[in-house]
Amino acid sequence: MSKIYSFIIIIPLIAMLLFKGVFFYEYDTKQRYIKDLVDSTAYVVKITGILTQDEYNRLKTNLNKYAIFEDDDIVIKKGIYSNGNITISEPYTPGTRLTKGDAFAIYVQSDNVSNYSKIENLGVSVDDAKNLYFKAKAVCRVEYID
Amino acid sequence: MKVILTGISIVLVLVLTFVNISDYALYSNKRNLIARAVDYSVCAAIQEVDLSLSKVGLSEGFDSETGKVLINDIHLDEQSSENAFFETLLTNTGEKRNDIKENTLIVYIHPSTGGINYLIKKESERHEGFVTSPDRLEAAINNAIDALLDTNNTQSDSHVIYVNGNPSTNEFKEAPYFLVFIKNHEIDGLFRRRSATFVGFAGAKISRQE
């Protein structure tokens, strides 16, 4: 009888926990890589004052190694610092040269929901707030001196 | 019965392992996020030069004998620099100024004739001083950390900064700097709070147009 219980309850429970562990590890690792990519791109803009089209394409290609990122999922903006306060309002077009002191921001959010989220919600939840996407952002100030 | 007990033990071990890994992963993710944001924030703050206080310094230009760019008497605007620092940190991490200001030490450094002036701030406390060379700044800042922040807990992170101690690191030079030391900032994991200490500094990149 006890063997039947173990097959019906305990083994599926162990399997579920192992799956959760594996998918959490996958989510955490990918999330870190994505943040690294966004930070590296922001750093390039911080010291050079420009995000070239090539650099943008490289960012998109690399992001797509970890999750699905369309052009709409990568939001790039620029802004200004006034008395130390940031206002980021305008969209940034790759290839535009920024001046020293400008603000630069990248926000990315994957198109697809992570596997960890799917196992937690038993699929993609209709309530989007419960879905866990891959997200990262970086806001920096341009140091480039023309 | 033996099979069920073994099964339950395995489940418990797995749950504990999973929860602990998740807890540390959340903490380390937030810690890395803040550490990077501190770097962005000090680089934003150092650009807030007080133009009226720096009139003399900015007008000096070059040393007529050596041709070296002069950067003496260039001051930062305290309010704007701090706004830039805390705003950049907030937009990158969501950490609010009020939540971290009591653990934060801000150091302004500007060279002048014969040495280097520094101002160390913690909320409303201000300590101004003067050292004759950049290599003495490290000791002055470490003394202030001891005096202004609670460093009695031996279990917490390091209470000192090492800048000049290791020749491989960037040494303080004779230049304006904005330095921040955030001591024992508490970060939430899944169920446990851990603390971390952050240090960031940036030197002003003064350009002279020809």
How far is residue B9's CA from residue A43's CA, in Å, rounded to a whole number?
Answer: 48
Asked whether the predicted pLDDT for residue A24 surpasses 80, the reply is yes
Chain A interface, best mutation among B11, B12, B89, by max A CB count within 10 A: B11
Binding-site residues on chain B for chain A (CB distance < 8 A): 1-4, 7-8, 10-11, 14-15, 17-18, 21-22, 25, 29, 32-33, 36, 40, 43-45, 47-48, 77, 79-85, 87-88, 91-92, 205, 207
pLDDT (0 to 100) of residue B7: 80
Asked whether the predicted pLDDT for residue B55 surpasses 80, the reply is no
How far is residue B112's CA from residue B125's CA, in Å, rounded to a whole number?
Answer: 23
Mean pLDDT computed over B167-179: 77
Indicate the residue of B1, B21, B48 with minimum beta-carbon distance to A84: B48
Q: What is the CA A51 to chain-centroid distance, rounded?
A: 18
Local confidence band at B142 (pLDDT 50, 70, 90 cut-offs): confident
Q: pLDDT (tens digit, 9 = 90+) per residue, A62-111? A: 999 999 999 999 999 999 999 999 999 899 999 999 998 999 999 999 99
Give φ, ψ of A131 to 5 degrees. Answer: -80, 140
Domain positions in chain A are 2-141
Query: Could you tell me the CA-to-CA distances from A86 to A83, B44, B85, B130 in Å, in that order?
Result: 9, 10, 10, 33
Local confidence band at B15 (pLDDT 50, 70, 90 cut-offs): confident
Mean pLDDT computed over A22-37: 94
Q: DSSP label at A130?
A: G
Interface TM-score (ipTM) > 0.90: no
How far is residue B1's CA from residue A84's CA, in Å, rounded to a whole number?
Answer: 67
Residues whose CB is less than 8 angstroms from the CB of residue B112 and which lie 6 or more positions away in sequence, other chains included: B72, B73
